[in-house]
Amino acid sequence: MVPGVRQAYSPGARIERVTTILAFLFVLGVLVFVHELGHFIAARRIGVRVLTFSLGFGPKLVSTRRGDTEYAISAIPLGGYVKMAGESVDDPRSGAPDEFLSKTKWQRFQVLIMGPVMNLLLAVIVMAVVLAHGAEVPAYHDAAPVIGTVKSASPAEKAGLRHGDRILTVAGDPVATWDNFDIEIGRRPNRDVDLTFMRDGQTQSATLKSSAEGKYEVGDIGVEPDVTPMVASVIKGDLAEKAGLKARDLLLAVNGELMTQPTQLTEAISRNAGKRTDILVRRSGDEMHISVTPEKRGDRGMIGIYFGQQTTSYKPGPVEAIKLSFQRNYEMGGLIFKTLGGLFVGTTSPRQLMGPVAIAQLSGESAALGVIPLLMLMASISLNLGLLNLMPIPVLDGGHIAIMALEGIARRDFSAQVKEKMLLAGFVLILLLMVTVIYNDLTRISWIERLMPWRN
């Protein structure tokens, strides 16, 4: 039996695929339902007759009728729709007051805008739930981006960056924290990036070309924060405990070498097997030297500790969680618009766009980590969906709103032929976008990418 085939059809792999599919359907189903519910509620509120409320496109799998409305679940679960009486100029119209086009532009605007608005509200609510749950995050996230480690042969090393440099701007955008820095660099893979940084009180600049890391091609320049390793726990009776190390000790240096990453500490302890080793420790604000001789176990030295990094705990109350949710969504919304702008001017790679396959994979990975990560993903996608639907592209809600606005400015309705041409242009643009994101998704699947000779 071919090992790869056996693995693909193992029980674990089947469970993983089922989890991915169910998580994807859950996330997408909730987002589509909320979006279409917004249109549905607004339409019913102003007296528009709704003919169909469908989750999914294509042939109807299950349907039921209540009053004038047919409620359905359709075969293609990549969206949904609300069909209203007299919705377009091509629909049969009687001029009845319960038809969509019989309503004023203001009333039609309310129906169109409520889909995206519901997605934005969902993003805020779900994010607030996630934040209210509380979390522990690495302490460096909100710290100033002062370089702790520069990776060997990285773009940063080639550009002359070094330990202690405080990065000020990335491509002209100020970066106050490591989170800001990661976002600005992350959305610029394989791009020339201008940096300014502070060194010894002097502002300096450098230009370097970022690399692209991982299957989502996230930009990287090879710098890491100063993450002083911390003792998470010591093994009872082992060398570290006997030497006097305790939980929550910060391990600052080994034999005079500064420790800025947990992996660096592992290497330092490992290569000193059988050698008396000096560890500089900070405990409750006081520094001390502790001497220990790592014991060779297998092919490396060990002293019997588990270590991690400093974290910050927070668990806001309901009101504070909502405030933080608005703030986070506002920041993420700004990033979305920056990314879209970067696509047009070439500073953002189209490879970072994700389609349904990537969303399904992320849903599965998030579900495997638990409910909170899955909800976090849902909030992020809901925000994206709400904002993208407001873009003035015909076919999208924002495009229909833009057409109505232009008609209002012109003080006349456009002809059916003009609207058809505008909608066709929007459809072509969306189709090109879909082709791009699906291509990106497929190239992230290793066995499919191997079938693409131009990718090898």
Contacts of 74 (CB under 8 A, 6+ apart): 54, 55, 56, 57, 58, 59, 60, 61, 80
Q: Which amino acid is at 159?
A: A
Question: How far is residue 419's CA from residue 285's CA, in Å, rounded to a whole number?
Answer: 69
Which of 16, 36, 217, 331 is catalytic? The answer is: 36
Q: How far is CA 115 from CA 104, 121, 326, 430, in A?
A: 18, 10, 19, 18
Question: How far is residue 413's CA from residue 415's CA, in Å, rounded to a whole number?
Answer: 7
3-state DSSP assignment of residue 275: coil
Q: How far is CA 451 from CA 72, 81, 90, 331, 355, in A?
A: 39, 36, 44, 39, 20
Task: Please say if 36 is a catalytic residue.
Answer: yes
Q: How far is CA 113 from CA 108, 208, 350, 400, 413, in A?
A: 9, 43, 28, 10, 20
CB 265 within 8 A of CB 230: no
Greatest Cα pair distance in the chain: 92
3-state DSSP assignment of residue 258: strand
Which H/E stretch holds residue 423? helix 416-443
Q: Give first-to-last CA distance, the chain, whole Å.
A: 27
* 269: nearest Cα among 215, 305, 308, 216: 305
State the catalytic residues. 36
